[in-house]
């Protein structure tokens, strides 16, 4: 029996060739997604190109495009290059909403850089966000039915952002309202990313449903942890203006408070010490629930990466 260097690594229990190749393939696709986002926002209108590349180039966790690509690979998709444009589109939906969010919240720091709003002003930030939304549309235009999936999520995202602004305005931030807000503003887009990946791989209905549920639940967990970090984090590690949520009377801490002065209520709750811990427990349960849903998928490197991605949403400090 001839054993070459690569097979020997397998036999020795090291990373398998298959694993290494799949990891390389994933990284190659993720890199192509970065390039696609950078390229698609090119424009002879300098401010749109520059503002878009400023926010895209600042990075971000890229969890949504990674989710889409992994959902594709984990359900048998064999040519991950086909996911580049939809994955770029999903990340740009998020990016557009971030740019508009920073206008409404007066956020001046985002991903460790000054926000588009801060650098270019409100008028151009509004237009840059619109531009990013139109680029989502351009990227997705050739993808037929996938547009139905993504359009649902973008509608939900804007509804969630609006419910949040309305809840702050009306001082109506109950636990139920909080859950509905994060379901729409965050979890719906995670769900659509996972669904698009699975559908593009022509996955069976049960697998598509599993990935929808997986995406939705880790989306909820991700947002809960985001809100925890907004309270306990500082700007240096978060890379964005911290405590905005609390100052503006939203996020789960407010949802668990009793009204009255927002900061006072939150501080009191935090001193009592159970709110953050309860939120952490809830996020972990959502992730475990999500991971259990993947049982319908055959074992694969991509499935393992999905599980790792799920836990990464709660095991982070920024």
- Which one of 64, 66, 100, 240 is in contact with a second copy (CB under 8 A)? 100
- Which one of 30, 108, 158, 307 is in contact with a second copy (CB under 8 A)? 158
**Cα(138)–Cα(130) distance, rounded to whole angstroms?**
12
- Which one of 19, 134, 304, 312 is in contact with a second copy (CB under 8 A)? 134
Number of neighbouring beta carbons within 10 Å of residue 186: 26
Residue 14: both structure tokens together: 């090291």
Binding segment toward a second copy, per CB under 8 A, in 26-34, 141-149, 186-194, 205-213: 141-149
| 193 close to 270: Cβ distance less than 8 angstroms | no
Q: Does 83 bind a second copy (CB under 8 A)?
A: no
Q: Does 172 bind a second copy (CB under 8 A)?
A: no
- Which one of 130, 282, 307, 318 is in contact with a second copy (CB under 8 A)? 130
**Cα(182)–Cα(268) distance, rounded to whole angstroms?**
24
- Which one of 163, 254, 262, 291 is in contact with a second copy (CB under 8 A)? 163
**Cα(47)–Cα(63) distance, rounded to whole angstroms?**
27
**Cα(160)–Cα(137) distance, rounded to whole angstroms?**
20
Residue 314: both structure tokens together: 């709660």
Minimum distance from CB of 25 to a second copy (Å)?
29
On the 0-12 / 13-18 / 19+ scale of CB atoms within 10 A, 210 is buried
- Which one of 154, 192, 241, 275 is in contact with a second copy (CB under 8 A)? 154
Applying CB under 8 A, the residues found at the interface with a second copy are 43-48, 97, 100, 103-104, 122-124, 126-131, 133-138, 140-142, 144-145, 147-148, 150-152, 154-155, 157-159, 161-163, 165-166
């Amino acid at each position: 029996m001839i054993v070459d260097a690569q097979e020997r690594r397998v036999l020795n229990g090291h990373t398998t060739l298959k694993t290494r190749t799949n990891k390389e393939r994933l990284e190659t696709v993720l890199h192509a997604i970065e390039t696609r986002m950078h390229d698609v926002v090119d424009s002879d209108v300098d401010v749109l190109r520059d503002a878009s590349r400023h926010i895209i180039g600042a990075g971000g966790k890229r969890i949504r495009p990674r989710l889409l690509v992994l959902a594709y690979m984990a359900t048998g998709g064999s040519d991950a290059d086909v996911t580049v444009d939809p994955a770029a589109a999903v990340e740009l939906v998020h990016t557009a909403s971030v740019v508009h969010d920073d206008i409404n919240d007066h956020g001046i720091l985002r991903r460790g850089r000054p926000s588009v709003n801060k650098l270019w002003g409100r008028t151009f930030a509004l237009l840059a966000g619109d531009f990013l939304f139109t680029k989502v549309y351009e990227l997705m235009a050739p993808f037929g039915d996938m547009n139905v999936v993504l359009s649902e999520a973008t509608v939900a995202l804007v509804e969630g952002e609006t419910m949040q602004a309305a809840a702050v305005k009306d001082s109506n931030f109950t636990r139920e309202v909080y859950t509905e807000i994060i379901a729409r503003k965050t979890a719906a887009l995670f769900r659509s990313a996972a669904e698009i990946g699975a559908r593009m791989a022509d996955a069976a209905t049960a697998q598509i449903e599993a990935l929808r549920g997986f995406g939705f639940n880790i989306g909820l967990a991700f947002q809960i942890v985001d809100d925890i970090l907004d309270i306990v984090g500082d700007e240096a590690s978060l890379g964005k203006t911290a405590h905005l949520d609390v100052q503006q009377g939203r996020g789960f801490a407010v949802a668990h408070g009793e009204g009255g002065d927002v900061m006072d209520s939150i501080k009191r709750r935090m001193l009592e010490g159970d709110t953050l811990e309860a939120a952490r427990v809830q996020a972990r349960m959502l992730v475990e629930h999500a991971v259990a849903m993947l049982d319908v998928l055959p074992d694969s490197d991509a499935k393992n990466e999905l599980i790792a991605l799920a836990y990464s949403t709660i095991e982070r400090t920024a």
